[in-house]
Structure 1
Amino acid sequence: MSAAPLALVVDDSDDQAELLRRYLERAGCRVVTASTAEQALETLDDIRPDLAVVDLVLPGISGRELAAALRETHPECALVITSVLDSSRYPEADAVLPKPFTGAQVATVVERIARA
């Protein structure tokens, strides 16, 4: 991963997306946000993120479906799942961030992915 990894945040809550942006930027990432899976898929035509933080509960295409699409089209992208749902219901991912999460938890996930 480069010195400034590119993170894609997909969350339909503006507050959560902004919080993740701030935490990821503090952890040394450049950040692009999308509020729907459809918007994220369009964005993926133009960028190659090092990691994607995907909320499972999204309008339209679900976060679970987006995660599967990311695995297929961008296998090099580390997948981080975030949700208020029980973490036992999360799809396979490189890391999880159950809501609510802290800045320290986000930083730990970024560090672990950077070492992988």
Structure 2
Amino acid sequence: MYEATTRGRTATGLVSSRAGSRVVLLATSVLPEFRGKEVAARLIGGVLDELRMQGKSATATCPSTAAFVNAHPKYADVPDPAFPQSRSRAWALNTRPKGPRRRPPAHCRPCRSPRR
């Protein structure tokens, strides 16, 4: 797990797993008070820089990490060419319904009455 701290507090974390010379970047989490301050972007960039220096490749299964890599061409050499991102992520991108989101049916909405 990679972590970034701000003023002595953990602000964000990136969960990873190693598979030989490849690192799978699984999930990114940012504490609410640090959201919108680019701490996750700095952490992801630092992790990718470190992996590059170590000669390792990465597979991004985390949507935030995959979006970061896609938005920053300077990291194009870090993703593993055989496994650049998880199949489930690629599947999710290709199967997401197009157009505006539909509201769920009335019976799926949360009940506003107190529990019995």
Q: Could you state the TM-score of these two structures normalised by the residue count of structure 2?
A: 0.33
Relative contact order (C-alpha < 8 Å, sep 6+): which is higher?
1
